[in-house]
């Protein structure tokens, strides 16, 4: 367990604890999560022994980020199956824990289908539970592989769009190993550029109100020895105006069939800024994030979160070099109403490219996206 902030160059991994793992102690199988609410102050494990604990962990963002939500959802169904809970009830609760990241429902459905198929075969509950766990493990592994492919495609695209090298990349929210079976989505591309010696600077938006950029992306960047600088979200405009941003790299929680991209709130303003300043706005996401069942951006359900996340500083209380900071401190008058959408939607015409494990879509059109997702060929 880490008890202090990581320093740049300290080591080469995101955390000392795996973000998610299945364990089978004598008391019965459990799902162990790295509690992301506590980062960067502490690396603390959260042990889920039943699906409702996992639902709570998802709602409160102990586990978060689209690909990881899919993996967690699948393991949650496996947990229900092996521990004898009602699998359909657990699946419904898990899939509904957060509405925007489609990966969550996709992961849950995949594990649930494995359970049903195995149970329909011979009615053996133990074997059905085993099949559900196998499905969750397969999804976990596939996500790791997808992550590596996205990094490769994303770096090739960056190099093509920015032939001079020395990329200065702005990113928003957290899209690294903390959200994935591998090294993530957008962050994995920046990390690949760093390893290739072609990342000059990673600009990290703090990402109000839950500070995924400040708490999590800065943490991952530091631990990977990347050159990074943290900024408040509203400082991005002046950074573009100063010509300091060569590309924007973000992830996605759901991509509609028309190519509209739902991602952490604040992504859309970045896309508008990027267009004005002629800077590529690149979305990196696995094909599981593309939802053919959602026709356009207006049809994406955007999660609305509690107002206190805005009216208070909600970062966990931490101690840095003996100085206390953060932790539920009110910053607005008592009773202030807050508008707190967790995500916003960027229309396809503002997206330069969508990078997936199967390749790159650019320009972003419904037909190109459908063709890429339908192709079974892995690039």
Does position 206 interact with ligand MRU (CB under 6 A)? The reply is: no
What DSSP line would sit under 76-105, residue for residue?
HHHHHHHTT--HHHHHHHHHTSSSS-HHHH
Q: Write down the catalytic residue from 253, 291, 344, 367.
A: 253
As measured in angstroms, the least distance from the Cβ of 244 to ligand MRU is 22
Closest residue by Cα to residue 351 from 367, 360, 362: 362
* Pick from 60, 71, 98, 93: nearest CA to 262: 98
Per rule CB under 6 A, is residue 179 in the interface with ligand MRU? yes
How many residues contact ligand MRU, by CB under 6 A? 18
**Tokens in use for 285?**
């996401």
Identity of the residue, 212 or 311, whose beta carbon is nearer to ligand MRU in the bound complex:
212
Would you say the C-alpha torsion 221, 223, 226, 229 has a positive or negative sign? positive
Q: How near is the Cβ of 241 to ligand MRU at its closest, in Å?
A: 24
| Shortest distance in whole angstroms from residue 285 CB to ligand MRU | 6
Verify cis geometry, omega within 30 degrees of 0, for the bond prior to 169. Answer: no
Q: Kindly report each contact of residues 360-363 with a partner whose C-beta sits within 8 Å and lies 24 or more positions away, as own/partner.
A: 360/153, 360/157, 361/259, 362/157
Closest residue to ligand MRU, judged by C-beta, is: 251
Nearer to ligand MRU, 72 or 118 (CB): 72
Judge contact between 273 and 350, C-beta under 8 A.
no
65 annotated among ligand-binding-site residues: yes
Our finding on whether 252 is near ligand MRU (CB under 6 A) is yes
Identified binder of ligand MRU from the candidate list 14, 112, 175, 346, rule CB under 6 A = 175
User: Hey, CA dihedral for 80, 53, 75, 299, is it positive or negative?
Assistant: positive
* Number of residues that this document lists for the chain: 379
Q: Within 10 Å of residue 140's Cβ, how many Cβ atoms?
A: 23
Cβ count within 10 A of residue 139? 24
Q: Which of 275, 247, 279, 261 shows the shortest CA–CA distance to 369? A: 261
Q: How far is the CB of 27 from ligand MRU (least distance, A)?
A: 30
Residue 253 interacts with ligand MRU (CB under 6 A): yes or no: yes
| Residue 263 lies near ligand MRU (rule: CB under 6 A) | yes
Least distance from ligand MRU to the Cβ atom of residue 120, Å? 33
- Residue 250 C-beta: closest distance to ligand MRU, Å: 6
Task: Identify the residue among 81, 95, 101, 105 touching ligand MRU (CB under 6 A).
Answer: 101
Q: 9-22: string of b/e by CB count within 10 Å (b at 16+)?
A: eeeeebbebebbeb
Q: How many Å apart are CA 204 and CA 182, to the nearest integer?
A: 20
Residue 260 lies near ligand MRU (rule: CB under 6 A): no
140 near ligand MRU, judged by CB under 6 A? no
Our CB check for ligand MRU shows the closer of 139 and 173 to be 173
Query: In angstroms, what is the minimal distance from the CB of 227 to ligand MRU?
Result: 21
CB nearer to ligand MRU: pick between 184 and 259: 184
Q: Is 66 annotated as a binding residue?
A: yes
Those residues whose C-beta lies under 8 Å from the C-beta of residue 294, and which sit 6 or more positions away, are 102, 254, 256, 257, 300
167 binds ligand MRU (CB under 6 A): no
Sign (positive or negative) of CA dihedral 47, 48, 54, 60: negative
Name the residue nearer to ligand MRU (CB basis): 53 or 262: 262
Among 78, 139, 282, 342, binds ligand MRU (CB under 6 A): 342
Residues 6+ apart with CB under 8 A from 259: 348, 351, 354, 361, 364, 365, 366, 369
- Toward ligand MRU, which CB reaches closer, 43 or 344? 344
| Annotated binding residue 358 | no
> Known catalytic residue: 253?
yes
CB distance 297 to 260 below 8 Å? yes
Q: Does 213 bind ligand MRU (CB under 6 A)?
A: no
- Residue 66 in the binding site for ligand MRU (CB under 6 A): yes
| 33 contributes a contact to ligand MRU by CB under 6 A | no
What's the rounded Cα separation, in Å, for the pair 101 and 230? 25
The annotated binding site is made up of: 64-66, 98, 212, 263-264
The residues carrying an active-site annotation are: 253
The annotated binding site for substrate is made up of: 64-66, 98, 212, 263-264
Binding site for ligand MRU (CB under 6 A): 61, 64-67, 101, 173, 175, 179, 184-185, 212, 251-253, 263-264, 342
């Amino acid at each position: 367990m880490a008890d202090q902030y990581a320093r740049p160059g300290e080591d080469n991994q995101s955390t000392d604890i795996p973000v998610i793992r299945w364990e089978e102690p004598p008391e019965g199988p459990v799902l162990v999560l790295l509690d992301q609410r506590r980062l960067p102050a502490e690396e603390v494990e959260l042990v889920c022994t039943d699906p409702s604990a996992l639902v709570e962990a998802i709602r409160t963002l102990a586990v978060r980020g689209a690909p990881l939500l899919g993996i967690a959802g699948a393991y949650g169904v496996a947990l229900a199956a092996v521990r004898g809970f009602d699998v359909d009830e657990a699946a419904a609760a898990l899939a509904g824990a957060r509405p925007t990241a489609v990966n969550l429902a996709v992961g849950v459905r995949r594990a649930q289908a494995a359970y049903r198929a195995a149970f329909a075969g011979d009615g053996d509950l133990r074997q059905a539970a085993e099949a559900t766990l196998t499905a969750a493990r397969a999804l976990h592994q596939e996500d790791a592989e997808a992550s590596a492919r996205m990094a490769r495609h994303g770096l090739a695209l960056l190099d093509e769009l920015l032939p001079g090298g020395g990329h200065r990349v702005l990113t928003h929210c957290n899209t690294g190993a903390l959200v994935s079976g591998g090294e993530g989505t957008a962050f994995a591309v920046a990390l690949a550029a760093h390893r290739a010696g072609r990342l000059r600077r990673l600009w990290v938006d703090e990402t109000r109100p839950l500070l995924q950029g400040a708490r999590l992306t800065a943490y991952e960047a530091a631990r990977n020895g990347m050159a990074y600088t943290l900024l408040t979200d509203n400082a991005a405009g002046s950074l573009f105006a100063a010509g300091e941003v060569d590309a924007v790299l973000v992830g996605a929680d759901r991509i509609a069939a028309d190519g509209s991209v739902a991602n952490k709130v604040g992504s859309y303003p970045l896309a508008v800024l990027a267009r004005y300043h002629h800077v590529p706005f690149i979305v990196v996401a696995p094909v599981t994030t593309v939802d053919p069942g959602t026709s356009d951006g207006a049809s994406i359900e955007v999660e609305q979160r509690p107002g206190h996340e805005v009216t208070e500083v909600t970062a966990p209380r931490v101690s840095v070099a003996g100085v206390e900071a953060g932790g539920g401190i009110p910053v607005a008058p008592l009773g202030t109403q807050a508008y707190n959408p967790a995500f916003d939607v960027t229309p396809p015409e503002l997206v330069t490219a969508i990078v997936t494990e199967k390749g790159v879509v650019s320009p972003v059109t419904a037909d190109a996206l459908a063709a890429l997702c339908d192709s079974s060929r892995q690039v």
